[in-house]
């Protein structure tokens, strides 16, 4: 008989993973990040539970996109006031806030609700190859 194991407070150890976003496609990168945050790579996976895994993404400004998305993909945000819609292309947003592109992509793949918001806090982005999470001993993951 199969039994589901639940992570208790005693098993509150976080596993951290390091992903280098240098020349990786945004879709492949985002799916791998969301799978890790959800815990689908763990034998303790439960869709309604936080598995306590974190992801560190370095070189966030060096992601790639396929096709003409660099000029044809738009990101919208609204200030809430009449006429407050701001539209940016992929290239403009990558120059201004490179991590925001990956954030929006991963957030759309996580569950909607309190679990998704909690999982999203375990995702850290850094511009360049250095990060301050050396004490967590992250496991390096290669994405093709």
Q: What crossing angle do the helices spanning 26-38 and 98-109 adopt, rounded to 10°?
A: 50
Task: Give per-residue pLDDT as tens, 39-56.
Answer: 999 888 889 888 889 999
Residue the block writes with tokens 């609700």: 113
Query: Binning pLDDT at 50, 70 and 90, where does residue 9 land?
Result: low
Strands in 15-20's sheet, in edge-to-edge order, are 123-126, 53-58, 15-20, 139-141
Percent of the chain with pLDDT over 90: 80
Measured between alpha carbons, how far is 56 from 140 in angstroms, rounded to an integer?
9
Q: What is the mean pLDDT of residues 45-72?
A: 92
Cβ pair 94, 62 in contact under 8 A: no
74-78 and 85-89: which strand pairing?
A: antiparallel
pTM higher than 0.85 = yes
């Amino acid at each position: 008989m199969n039994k589901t194991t639940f992570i208790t407070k005693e098993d509150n150890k976080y596993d951290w993973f390091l992903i280098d976003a240098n020349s990786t496609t945004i879709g492949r990168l985002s799916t791998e990040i969301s799978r890790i945050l959800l815990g689908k790579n763990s034998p303790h996976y439960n869709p309604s539970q936080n598995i306590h895994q974190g992801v560190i993404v370095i070189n966030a400004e060096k992601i790639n996109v396929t096709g003409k998305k660099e000029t044809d993909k738009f990101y919208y945000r609204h200030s809430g006031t009449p006429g407050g819609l701001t539209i940016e292309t992929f290239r403009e947003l990558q120059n201004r806030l490179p991590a925001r592109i990956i954030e929006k992509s991963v957030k759309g793949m996580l569950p909607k609700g309190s679990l998704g918001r909690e999982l999203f806090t375990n995702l850290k982005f850094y511009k360049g190859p250095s990060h301050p999470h050396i004490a967590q001993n992250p496991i390096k993951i290669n994405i093709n």
